[in-house]
Amino acid sequence: MAIRLSCRIFLFVLVGMLIAPALVRADDTETREFSVFVDGKESGSSRMTLVQKDDGTSYMTGSLNVKFRQILGEFSFAVETQEWWKNGRLIGMKTSAVDNGKKTDITVAVDNNQLRMRVNGKESAVNPETWTTSFWKLADARFHNKQTPILEIDTGREFNTELKYVGTEKLKLPDLQDCYRFKVAAAPSPVDLWYDRFHRLVRLEFTEAGHRTIVQLTKISR
């Protein structure tokens, strides 16, 4: 989400929202389905299955497929990803992405109390506080309106950017809901994100290379 086009295709009172923990039930499992629109045309879909355990462990498995035509020909991107979190910190990730035929495999795991990453066989350390560009859950409150370390899940690239709180908005999802809007200020270009009261992603929007892209929640299954 470059946050490039390929990867990006993958919240009450303000003060209370910024310090409140996510209101997710223990051992909660759900599947969220999204439609992807590029320049106003439906161009793909995304699916996430989310599991929250009562021991503070979270697990996400997701897939994304998108294809559209641009000036230089047809663009396609597909990704399969898994993320493991414990008490608000990333503890593992496994991603396989194919960007117009170019494949990238990434794994992240804890090694001797450090977070290590392997990208197509090349190893490096990862900031243990990192957020990810799947954006499936809102970053912890300590990062709101502050610099936030982010890991790009389809390339393994790391960067820091400000996560700005914008306000609350009513969105028509499957039903009308009050949602929390945030903006990733630059990564390298802005991304707008909307989260529900459980601090889970419901909408993502950005423009890059002249293409306006929207990822919109269409269905939740439990």
* Domain limits, the chain: 5-221
pLDDT digits (tens, 9 = 90+) for 147-166: 999 999 999 999 999 999 99
Identify the pLDDT of residue 12.
29
- For CA atoms 199, 147, 127, 18, give the dihedral sign: negative
Identify the pLDDT of residue 17.
32
pLDDT digits (tens, 9 = 90+) for 54-98: 888 999 999 998 887 765 567 788 999 999 999 889 999 999 999
Identify the pLDDT of residue 187.
61
Q: How far apart are CA 89 and CA 125, in angstroms?
A: 15
Identify the pLDDT of residue 20.
38
Encoding tokens for residue 48? Answer: 């996430």
Q: How confident is the model at residue 222 (pLDDT cuts 50, 70, 90)?
A: confident
For residue 17, the tally of other CB atoms under 10 A from its CB is 18
